[in-house]
Amino acid sequence: MAGAVVNNLEGLDRELETILTSFDTNYAWNYASVKAGLGDLYEKAKREQWNSTTQLAWDTHVEPESEIVPDVINPLAEYGPFKKLNEKERHRLRHAQMALQLSQFLHGEQGALIVASQLVGGVPWIEAKYYAGSQTMDEARHVEVFSRYLRSKLEWEWPINESLKELLDATIQDSRWDFKYLGMQVMIEGLAMAAFGNLFQLCQEPLLKELLRYVMRDESRHVAFGVLSLRSYYDDMPENELRDREDFIIYSSELMKDRLVGKEIANAMGWNPEDVKDLVLQSPAGQLFRSMLFQRIVPNLKKLGLLTPRVREAYTRMDLIKFEDFDADQADRELGFQA
């Protein structure tokens, strides 16, 4: 019996990763409303709670190698080694690509769960604590549903992408509460909302489409939470402190812009990762997807006064400044997810 316990603990250790965190925790003794808009957002969060166990049709049959999204958008379609694959191998690759994408959603949601729980303690307003508490529940549910779909339907889970892990670690480990908002609510949640929206529009599998619909409804509120909380916070910030925020925005944008470039798939298939990366970066589908990821981030940074000359210069270089006037609210309304 003792040996079995030791083996179980060793297995658990291999599945855990511990990082050191330290951040200021704030009591908020003013229980009156002090931050406009957060109370209404919290009421909306309470109304929109959902139970994934009963509200999603988990008995739906999903064929893991089926065309969950149309094959025509595959950026590897013209790649020589891909053309040599037989039908069975192509189906297996299609399965791998979908499992990889949803695995990154899963890992990102766990990061969001951790950050939301930190915000409960770190934020300085009571309404923000209320909302961060509701978001923590949302993120737990998102981890649950993506994990369940990957395990029970696709039966394939991939490790976290290195760039995503780096940004999550930076956000979780920073001691300043506003950096947690910037890293998670503005940057990562903004990217996620765009990626979810792209998959939602392309998805041909009903269970996944409905799962995404529920998750996106939550995520649209989470992004709004960040923008409402940080509004006017940077207006009179000293230049040296503002520069730290500029550096973080530029760093995280560069880190995430070329994140999904096929490295994991190339390694799994025995293909040249650099060849696959070049193909994905140059493909119309790949360029459009990576560009769309920042549609919500750039205008939100502008609302917060963070589209400073330094950030503007970096975004011009990355060909992202074109989104500064993108109407993310209208895009969300068209999808039915207006916070």
The CATH number given to whatever domain includes residue 182 is 1.10.620.20
Angle of helix 284-292 versus helix 273-282 axis, rounded to 10:
70
Q: Are 34 and 131 in contact (CB under 8 A)?
A: no
Is 173 contained in some domain?
yes
Is 12 contained in some domain?
no
What pTM did the predictor assign? 0.91
The pairs formed by 84-90 with CB atoms below 8 angstroms and a separation of 24 or more are: none
Is 22 contained in some domain?
no
Q: Are 258 and 173 in contact (CB under 8 A)?
A: no
Is 136 contained in some domain?
yes
Burial class of residue 275, CB neighbours in 10 A (0-12, 13-18, 19+):
middle
Is 28 contained in some domain?
no
Q: What is the pLDDT of residue 5?
A: 40
Residues 260 and 258: their CA atoms lie apart, in Å, by 6
Domain encompassing residue 178: 34-335
The pairs formed by 331-334 with CB atoms below 8 angstroms and a separation of 24 or more are: 331/197, 331/295, 331/296, 332/193, 332/220
Is 20 contained in some domain?
no
Number of domains in the chain: 1
In the chain, which residues have pLDDT < 50?
Answer: 1-12, 339
